[in-house]
Amino acid sequence: MIEKTRGIKDIRKLTKSLPTIRYVDPEYVYLAVTNARCGTSEIYCKPGDYVKIGTVIGMRHGGYFDQPIHSTVSGTIVGTVKKFHRAGKMVDFIQIKNDMKNTFDESVHERTDEEISKLTKDEMAEIIKNCAVVGMGGSSFPTYIKFQTKDPIKYILLNGIECEPYLSSDHRLMMEMPDRIMIGIKYCLQAFKAEKAIICIKKKYDDIYEVLDAVRQRYPELPIEIARVGNFYPQGWEIAMIKSALGIDIPSGVLPAKYGIMNFNVATVVGIFKAIKYNLPVVKRYFTLTGDGIKFPQNFRVRVGTSVQELIKLCGGYVDEDKDKVFILGGPMMGVSHVRDDVIVTRTVTSVIILNHHEYTEEPCVRCASCVYSCPVGLQPVSIMNAYKANDKDAIIKLGVKKCIECGLCSYSCTSKIPVTEYMRKAKKLIK
């Protein structure tokens, strides 16, 4: 249709009001040796070693940072196995047999409120670095680097929008652990000396608003606001979120910190809370397993390192075993599809969506321009696609494909079912 596509048929109601199932004691957990941001690593332990929750068992080396690998259960190391990482690569995973005793490492200790109130931003950054807290919305960007910013921060924005359809892990997190979010915000406010913190949620979710508003009353000293922003996609994109919540337009390519804004995912803030309060790395997370290809869509609180196959079994398995499925890690708009369900829940996996596969026939482009109208960045995907087909690099650069956030709206709204987003990626590669 010739219109701006903003809303995406919301299928979150599949899971959003279901209670979370706690599945925190799997028999084995698997920890990735390398990940998308860290290409190399070294392992400090050998098969047979006994590890506890929070024990550092290795170190991943990224381009400009190191990231310790923490054990998420107590038990013995079995060895390494090959499994799929969320990026779609087969990588080595350290397999740990859970002894179900949940003993904590010596490094895990509770800090008193007094101790915490004396912490400076750099000390907090150090703690967060040692606990390897990363952006839990899916970016896996090391959080301590955000803490090292030199820019004065005025506002802290919490991203609880979760604008992708189907996903509800952040929704459940906000419903069930609002206290941890508030205390996490308290630490962030203290670290950045920010004026106020704003929790951004979708306007249509009254339930989250009521919970957060009620819990906010318990912390009258904290300058926390709740912004009920738009329901459209991609509202969770940080630039769209900042525009909706604060009215500040940030040009693409500029860090929000330059404008005095720091944003975190709500799950990251809970990670920060755990790290600062208990010196504990992220060992559990909320996880959604949903889609029309699974029997009972469900929210889980799982141990990091759980195999998705076990969770699928808990959900009753696949629907219509004879039909082809699409197995997506992340949201249906930006997630990566996998050809094997042999995937591990890492810290940054928010969800797995299993959809029945639909084969679309691609029709010729009729220039209806719904992609142009829908593009949140204001690009012209159809022109970029034609320029890519003509191999016209000048035109691709001038049309600004680098600004593309690959939100997938152009493909989603295409009346001819052309994979426009894929052309955007190819065009980006072409001008590299």
Partner 1 sequence: MRLIKENSPHINKDSSVKRMMLDVLIALVPVVIYSIVQFGFGAVSVLLISIASMLLCEFIFVFLTNKKPYDGTKQKFIDRIKYAKSKATINNILTPLISAVIFAMIMPAGAKWYYTLVGAVSGIVLGKLVFGGLGGNIFNPAALGRVITMVCFGSNIAYSSVSPLFGVDVMSGATPLGALANDLAVVNFDTIKNLFIGTVSGSMGEVSKICILAGGIYLIIRRSADFRVMLSMILSFALVMLFAGIKLTDNSVIFMLYQVLSGGLLFGAIFMATDPVTSPVTRPGRITFGIMIGLISALIRLVGAYPEGVAFAILISNMFVPVIDYYKWSTNKYSWKHFLIWGLMIAIVVVIVIFGL
- Interface with partner 1 by CB under 8 A: which residues? 1-3, 5, 8-9, 165, 318, 321-328, 332-341, 353, 355, 357-358, 360-361, 363-370, 372-373, 375, 378-380, 382-383, 387, 395, 398-399, 406, 408-409, 411-417, 419, 421-422, 425
Nearer to partner 1, 194 or 345 (CB): 345
Q: How far apart are CA 60 and CA 34, in angstroms?
A: 6
Tokens matching residue 261: 């804004």
Q: What are phi and psi of 159, to 5 degrees?
A: -95, 100
Nearer to partner 1, 245 or 382 (CB): 382
Tell me if 170 sits within 8 A of 349, measured CB to CB: no
Minimum gap (Å) between residue 413 Cβ and partner 1: 5
**Alpha helix (H) residue ranges in 288-343:** 308-314
User: Please, which residues have CB within 8 angstroms of residue 254's CB and are 6 or more apart in sequence?
Assistant: none
Minimum gap (Å) between residue 182 Cβ and partner 1: 34
Tokens matching residue 92: 């080595």
Cα separation values, 102 from 24, 51, 132, 165, 344, Å: 10, 10, 20, 35, 20
Minimum gap (Å) between residue 297 Cβ and partner 1: 15
Nearer to partner 1, 139 or 416 (CB): 416
Minimum gap (Å) between residue 3 Cβ and partner 1: 4
Tell me if 108 sits within 8 A of 278, measured CB to CB: yes
374-413: b or e for each residue (b if 16 or more CB lie within 10 Å)? bbbbebbbbbbbbbbeeebeebbeebebeebbebbbbbbb
Nearer to partner 1, 21 or 397 (CB): 397
Minimum gap (Å) between residue 329 Cβ and partner 1: 10
Minimum gap (Å) between residue 161 Cβ and partner 1: 18
Nearer to partner 1, 348 or 383 (CB): 383
Query: Order of strands across the sheet with 75-84?
Result: 28-32, 90-98, 75-84, 50-51
Nearer to partner 1, 41 or 348 (CB): 348
Nearer to partner 1, 225 or 324 (CB): 324
Minimum gap (Å) between residue 271 Cβ and partner 1: 26
Tokens 């703690």 belong to residue: 127
